């Protein structure tokens, strides 16, 4: 009985050791695949062109992995105060955000798609959900889909994902197109995870579920775009009126000068 117990104890510790070793070996690999898996899946769900959402994630939370020689979107990424932080776990990422908030920092980007907690306050019910790759990427996909609905152009929608400031959007779009087209130089995109097949081409667009926040965003964008056009029209009208008034004033001065010259000539 004693020998059997000893053998059983050795066997148990051996299994625990193997399981622990396997967990250490597998966990980083799973974390590396989390963002990419969700990106490819949501591209199919929302009719987003193949690898576009994935390419955005690479820009937003990508970090270079020397082992795979690829840039991989990291799910536990936190960016604030101009600094990106790649945390080793979800718990540590949540703790980092809590520390930042405790210091009064509000402008914080989180997760695979770096959703900004200040500008998207209703995106997630909690920090736990914000760092859930499935929830983080799904929200970003709906947001991108909403931008496409407002612009009708995927590259423009993708650039507006970052910013609607023209100079910032243009720089982001240039960088994105290099990655999306596979022309990123030494920065390579990690391949799709096993079992996840990206769409070979842009799928036929279809109506997909949205969210009140996305609809509000689309409405606000349209109103902003219309306000911009109205302002441009007012400026153009004001410019034309000013030019007409300037022309009329010069004509009056010319007529006055001509009349004065004629009067002076008659006196001589």
Domain assignments of the chain as residue spans, ordered by start: 2-191, 211-268
Rounded Cα gap, residues 185 and 206, in angstroms: 34
Phi/psi of residue 119, each to 5°? -85, -15
Q: What integer pLDDT is reported at residue 22 of this predicted model?
A: 37
Q: Residue 210 pLDDT > 60, yes or no?
A: no
Q: What integer pLDDT is reported at residue 30 of this predicted model?
A: 64
Predicted confidence band at 100 (pLDDT cuts at 50, 70, 90)? very high
Q: Residue 268 pLDDT > 70, yes or no?
A: no
pTM over 0.75: no
Mean pLDDT of the chain: 76
Exposed/middle/buried for 55, CB within 10 Å: 0-12, 13-18, 19+?
A: buried
| Among 4-18, 81-95, 139-153, 242-256, the least confident range | 4-18
Q: What integer pLDDT is reported at residue 7 of this predicted model?
A: 41
Q: What integer pLDDT is reported at residue 254 of this predicted model?
A: 78
Cα angle 167, 140, 191 (rounded to 5 degrees) comes to 95
For the record, the structure tokens of 98 come out as 């809590």
For 114, other C-beta atoms within 10 Å of its C-beta total 22
Mean pLDDT of 121-142: 96
Tokens 């604030």 map to which residue?
80
Rounded Cα gap, residues 191 and 169, in angstroms: 26
């Amino acid at each position: 009985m004693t020998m059997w117990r000893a053998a059983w104890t050795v066997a148990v510790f051996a299994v625990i050791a193997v399981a622990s070793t396997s967990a250490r070996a597998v966990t980083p690999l799973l974390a590396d695949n989390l963002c990419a898996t969700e990106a490819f899946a949501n591209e199919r769900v929302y009719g987003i062109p193949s690898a576009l959402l994935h390419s955005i994630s690479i820009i937003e939370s990508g970090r270079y992995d020397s082992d795979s020689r690829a840039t991989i979107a990291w799910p536990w990424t936190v960016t604030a105060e101009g600094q990106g932080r790649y945390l080793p776990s979800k718990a540590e990422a949540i703790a980092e955000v809590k520390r930042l908030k405790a210091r009064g920092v509000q402008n914080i980007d989180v997760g695979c798609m770096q959703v900004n907690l200040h500008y998207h306050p209703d995106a997630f019910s909690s920090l736990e959900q914000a760092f859930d790759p499935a929830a983080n990427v799904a929200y970003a996909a709906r947001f991108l889909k909403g931008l496409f609905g407002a612009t009708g152009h995927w590259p423009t929608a993708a650039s507006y994902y970052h910013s609607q400031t023209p100079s910032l959007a243009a720089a982001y779009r240039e960088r994105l197109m290099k990655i999306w087209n596979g022309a990123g130089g030494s920065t390579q995109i990690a391949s799709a995870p096993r079992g996840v097949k990206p769409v070979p081409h842009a799928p036929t667009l279809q109506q997909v579920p949205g969210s009140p926040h996305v609809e509000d965003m689309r409405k606000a964008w349209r109103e902003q775009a219309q306000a911009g056009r109205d302002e441009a029209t007012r400026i153009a009208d004001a410019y034309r009126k000013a030019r007409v008034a300037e022309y009329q004033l010069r004509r009056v001065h010319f007529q006055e000068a001509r009349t004065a010259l004629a009067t002076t000539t008659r006196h001589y």
